[in-house]
Amino acid sequence: MRPPAHEELNLWQAVQDAVKSWKSACRPVNLRSWPDLVPQTGGISLFRGRLREWQPPLDPRQISAVHSVLPRRNQAFWNLSALWAGWLWGSEALEPMRNALLRQRYDWTWHTVALQKVLGNLPRMILPSTPILLQIPEVEPRFLLAGTLGAQEGGLQLQAYALSGDDSTLQTVWRVEDPAHLRAPARPLFSTARDLAREYLTELGEPSSYTMLFTQVLLGAQSLDLLHGQPKKQPNGTLPELEAELNEVLADTTFFTRFYPNITADSGLYWLKDPPAYYQPMADRVEIALREAFYGHESLSHAEVLAALHEQSPGLQTPDDALLDELLAAYAKADYEGGLRWHLRGSEAAASRSADLREMRALLESFANTLQYRRELSAEAVTWRDEEGNTLYTFFPITTAIVAPLLLKHAHLPGKKVVAIPGSKTSLLGFKLKRDPNLGSLVGPDWQFMRFRQLRALKENPLLSRELFLSQVSNMSPNDPTEQMALF
């Protein structure tokens, strides 16, 4: 595997590999030098210079959108660029990079002002309704702060935002700020930011990485006009001071708890010290959305799957690729012929799963009679009681890997609580329990998991007794439902 940052690629090898792409038969892109316009078929007109030097400017009515990938300072990138430039073109090519190479510690406050000066040109060049799409390619606190504050102080107003599932790219939509926009009454940054973090975690329903939580607090505070005039309002007027102030919010141990913490604030996963009585993990919502997407469809293209799932998980709740892979593997089969499509497994059809649930409930009722337990039926559970009426087992047959509602709602029940699931969902459930440490913490020693086929196998066992059944249930690891249960 290659490191995600400070990666040095072989430039000459890349040029050689590009020959295949250059030789491929495809429609060419029309390129022009500004002010020459492209033909009606489309293309790109390149202007080489600063935005404020753009002459002659376009009529604002001709600009339907603005898109930019905000630049990020990367010292390793510039050092490697200098080495390649010197090797390819000689020492003279290094002279323009001299200042960049001398400054090894970067001034993010300066970066904020630089972005502000560039983006501040847009209000006089476009219509107020024109969307401005700013992409932040590396989600890092100071880069986020610089990009957000630079756009804000440049006269732009945040409209929407979304984060890629791997936390690597932030997409934001801005518009020119309305001169009549009334700023919200001043509110204390600390307590308001803490409330923003709580609302996000409650809605997410599972622990969050530092990056996602910091991003939510920052963008939420910006939307509430809490960052107006920053970072100049800080004692020394620097961006790191504002970063430290926001980090103090997340460091409040009376409000937040961390799984897998380390010395630095960006380590571990953040969760609420006192979560609400009920919440729905994002992973469960995405699983529900996937099932609903297949209603009435035997197959879906990969793009259709992503569109359905992203619609149900907007903003900073985009599911990561690992979760998507586990979900799709549990419900569908891939078909790569003619483009990637996903076909719903026959066993996942609604009629098939309804039949499975009826079978499992019938088996549990039959076992209760065989083992001479009193049974009690409800819409979602089958309960076994002994002769004195004490609850010994409560079984929850389900056809999904959505267990959070059961763990939260029935934590108080006495006796053993057993969740029976299809074998095709055990890998997904195991992934969820490992991915979400809070969900795993809800699985106490009185919770167990069983596969449908294991209940079916017990039906064929002539030696079935109370002791044998108890041993079989106890052999299932609550933290790893993929673990095979011994049948004898």
- The whole-number pLDDT of residue 215 equals 93
Q: Flag whether 83 is in a domain.
A: no
Q: Are 267 and 287 in a shared domain?
A: no
pLDDT band of 28, cuts 50, 70, 90: confident
Q: Flag whether 286 is in a domain.
A: yes
Q: Are 369 and 342 in a shared domain?
A: no
Supply the range of the domain harboring residue 28. Answer: 11-77+106-272
Question: Could you report the per-residue pLDDT of 322-370, keeping only the tens digit for each?
Answer: 999 999 999 999 998 888 899 999 999 999 999 999 999 999 999 999 9
Q: Flag whether 400 is in a domain.
A: yes
Q: Flag whether 336 is in a domain.
A: yes
Question: Could you report the per-residue pLDDT of 436-458, keeping only the tens digit for each?
Answer: 999 999 999 999 999 998 889 88
Question: What percentage of residues in the chain have a pLDDT greater than 70?
Answer: 91
Domain stops at, among 272, 292, 324: 272
Q: Are 259 and 342 in a shared domain?
A: no
Q: Are 329 and 374 in a shared domain?
A: no
Q: Flag whether 255 is in a domain.
A: yes
Q: Flag whether 329 is in a domain.
A: yes
Mean predicted confidence (pLDDT) in 414-420? 94
Long-range contacts of 254-262 (CB under 8 A, 24+ apart): 255/194, 255/198, 256/197, 259/207, 259/437, 259/438, 260/437
Domain stops at, among 332, 348, 364: 348
Average pLDDT over the chain, rounded to an integer: 87
Q: Are 194 and 252 in a shared domain?
A: yes
Q: How far is CA 379 from CA 171, 359, 395, 452, in A?
A: 44, 15, 11, 18
Q: Flag whether 361 is in a domain.
A: yes
Number of domains in the chain: 3
User: Is the predicted pLDDT of residue 307 greater than 70, yes or no?
Assistant: yes
Q: Are 362 and 461 in a shared domain?
A: yes
Q: Are 210 and 343 in a shared domain?
A: no
Residue 312 and residue 280 in contact, taking contact as beta carbons nearer than 8 Å: no
Does pTM surpass 0.95?
A: no
Domain stops at, among 326, 348, 370: 348
Question: Could you report the per-residue pLDDT of 200-211, keeping only the tens digit for each?
Answer: 999 999 999 999
In CATH, what number is assigned to the domain containing residue 294?
A: 1.10.10
- How far, in Å, CA of 270 to CA of 251, rounded? 10
| 3-state secondary structure at position 262 | coil
Question: What percentage of residues in the chain have a pLDDT greater than 90?
Answer: 56
In CATH, what number is assigned to the domain containing residue 401?
A: 3.40.1350
Q: Are 319 and 399 in a shared domain?
A: no
Q: How far is CA 296 from CA 291, 300, 306, 337, 350, in A?
A: 10, 10, 17, 22, 10
Q: Are 313 and 381 in a shared domain?
A: no
Question: Could you report the per-residue pLDDT of 161-187, keeping only the tens digit for each?
Answer: 998 776 678 999 999 988 776 666 678
- The whole-number pLDDT of residue 482 equals 52
Least reliable range by pLDDT among 67-71, 99-103, 217-221, 293-297: 99-103
User: Is the predicted pLDDT of residue 146 greater than 90, yes or no?
Assistant: yes
Q: Are 62 and 208 in a shared domain?
A: yes
- The whole-number pLDDT of residue 484 equals 47
Q: Are 358 and 376 in a shared domain?
A: yes
Q: Flag whether 82 is in a domain.
A: no
Q: Are 366 and 458 in a shared domain?
A: yes
User: Is the predicted pLDDT of residue 2 greater than 60, yes or no?
Assistant: no
